[in-house]
Amino acid sequence: MEGLSRRQGIFDKLGTILKQDWGSLEEIQQQQATLQKRNARDIHQDEVEKLEAELQTLQRRIIDAGESSVLIDEENERAH
């Protein structure tokens, strides 16, 4: 029995040290959940930024196409 109580004492000390370093299981799980949410938000933010850049490119193309069509219309009017 003496060996068993000695082991239990060692496990208790290890548990105390780990809890001091890492915190409780609940704290670790909460930190992990927070990190996962932050990671998901970052992934979504990257996707939003890509879509916004693509939208700006398309808007520039639409503006350029509109300006080109105005120039063509003006040239056609001058020709007639």
Cα R_g (the chain), whole angstroms:
33
Is residue 51 situated within a structural domain? yes
Residue length, the chain? 80
Q: Is the pTM of this model over 0.85?
A: no
Question: H helices within 1-80, ranges in order?
Answer: 2-22, 25-79
Residue with tokens 């063509």: 72
pLDDT digits (tens, 9 = 90+) for 33-61: 999 988 888 888 889 999 999 999 999 99
Assigned token pair, 15: 């548990």
At residue 24, the 3 state secondary structure works out as coil
Is residue 6 situated within a structural domain? no
pLDDT digits (tens, 9 = 90+) for 1-31: 677 888 889 999 998 888 888 878 888 899 9
Residue 33 lies in domain: 25-80
Give me the number of domains the chain comprises.
1
Is residue 20 situated within a structural domain? no
Is residue 5 situated within a structural domain? no
Q: Are 77 and 71 in contact (CB under 8 A)?
A: no
Is residue 15 situated within a structural domain? no
